[in-house]
Amino acid sequence: MRTLAKTIRIEGLDKLQAGLKGRMNLTEVPQIVKKHGAQLSSGTQSRMQAAYTHGYSTGRTRRSVKPIFIDGGMTVSVGPTTDYFPYLEFGTRFMSAMPTLKPAFDVQSQLFINELKRLMQ
């Protein structure tokens, strides 16, 4: 059996890439990131308010959830800064998990993706 090798050569990729970069409009993206970062923060805080009602709760973890914007507003980091937050979110052998960040992220990430898809159309 004989195998034929075919070579494909694509020319003009530099021009295509330059053209695509020239057409990108990212001016709305930082506002979308800011909006959804703030909504993720408030969604997490409201879930914490509802979940952490029994036992000893000072609200310190809830108050520590704040959005932090980096990369000129293109990236947001949201999460509690207390060192014991993983025990609340995932539980321990003595206490059940009370997830608050992941459920808020699951909802907000879909809204964020949908808004970015709308922007790219």
**pLDDT, mean of each 10-residue run, the chain (121 residues):** 59 71 76 94 94 83 93 90 94 93 94 88 73
**Whole-structure pTM value:** 0.77
pLDDT of residue 23: 66
> Which residue's structure tokens are 């020319």?
11
Asked if 40 and 68 touch (Cβ cutoff 8 Å), the reply is no
d(CA 74, CA 98) in angstroms, rounded, equals 30
d(CA 55, CA 23) in angstroms, rounded, equals 55
Residue 30, C-beta contacts closer than 8 angstroms, at least 6 positions apart: 72, 73, 74
d(CA 46, CA 70) in angstroms, rounded, equals 24
Residues in the chain: 121
